[in-house]
Each structure stands twice: as structure tokens, then as C-alpha cells.
Amino acid sequence: MLTDLFSPSVQHSLDLVGIFVFAISGALLAVRKNFDVFGMTVLAEVTALGGGVLRDLIIGAEPPAAFADLGYFLTPMLATLLVFFLHPEVERITKAVGVFDAAGLGLFCVTGTMKAHAYGLGLTFAAALGVATAVGGGVLRDILAHEVPSLLRWDRDLYAVPAMMGATMAALLIHFDALSATTSVIPVLTAFVLRLLSMHFHWRAPRAWHRRSAAAEEV
């Protein structure tokens, strides 16, 4: 279990940081969509907790952690209040928010993989749920905001690929019985750095070969 690698207080603190940053991105999208404060809260909660709830429901961890820990539930509300009152200032530091979002991506893809494996899933499916933990909330956020999920758009910097790398590395460490508090940092940092590099250099996944150039671009 996760507590074998990190103390409960450390794990809880890391989770709250990741939840807070993901919630910020959800609340900011709600502002851009001209949602009211309730809509902002919903998007913040879904973005921050959606992936973890999906994972916990699939592996049978009931109730999901999001509904068993008041801190998990209240942290997105705190993020919503921050954006509600200070969204121009928060918008101006979107690059910094992007860095923390990348850190949350790296953390959640690894901890999601570890938790799924601890509940009995094979390594392949555990890694898949690790990716879902990291990116699922963003997909639900975009769907609720009536947008094509950024995860599926070719004109967005790599997001799922860094999560896949981190989750796969975590699964390999588990397979070789090499996962520890120290080695678990490696896949987290890999996903984090890869996401930062993709943001800086605008790396994107390739589209279909021989794609008709005359086809309309969707933006």
C-alpha cells in the first residue's frame, strides 16, 4: 500500500497539493466559460477528484477517498474561492499553475498505479488506471464545459503521454520489486519533466499518416 512508502501525513499532504492545483485549472476554465460560482465549484471538484473517484470505483475502494476525507472535498472549494476573488491575478500566473499541474500529473499517475495494484489489479491495468487517475478529471471537466477534451486534441501539448510514461515506469518498478519511497520519485519526475518539456517545446502527438491536407482543422 501507499503507506508502506510514505507516511500517512506525507501522502495526504501530497494528495491535497495535487487536488488543489487541478481544482485551480477547473475553476479557471469555468471563469472563461462565464460560469457562476456554483459552476466554478462543480468544475473544480470534478477536475480535482474525478480521476481518483473513477479509479476507486473500478478497484472497489469504497467509499472513494474523495468522499471519505473532508480535506479532499473541501480543498477544491478553497481553490474556487481563490479563483473567484483573484482570478485576474491567478490568470497572470498560469505558467506557474502549469508547473504545479505537471507535478500533480506526475504524482497522481504514479500513486494511482500503486493503489490500483495494491487492490489486486495486474500491472498493465494498474498502469492504465494510473493514467486515468491523472487525466480523468480533466476529461470530465472539458465534457461538462462543452469542449472537446484537450486530451483528444492534436493541437494541445502532450499530456497523456507523460502520464503513461510515469505509470508504466511505476508498474515496472513494482514488477521488479524495486519500488520504494526513493525509487518512486523517478517515475514522478519523469512524467513531470516530460510534461514541462512538452509545454515548453509544444510537443504534440502525431496525427494519421497521409492525412488529407485539405481537411478542415477543428479549433
Q: pTM of the prediction? A: 0.88
Q: What is the mean pLDDT of residues 89-114?
A: 86
- Tens digits of per-residue pLDDT, 44-76? 999 999 999 999 999 999 999 999 999 999 999
Residue 219: the pLDDT is 47
The stretch 161-171 carries a mean pLDDT of 97
Residue 6's pLDDT is what?
62
State mean pLDDT over 102-127: 94
Q: Which is more confidently placed, 141 or 215?
A: 141
Q: What would the grid cell of residue 38 be?
A: 456554483
Q: How confident is the model at residue 94 (pLDDT cuts 50, 70, 90)?
A: confident
Q: What is the pLDDT of residue 207?
A: 83
Choose between 52 and 10: higher pLDDT.
52
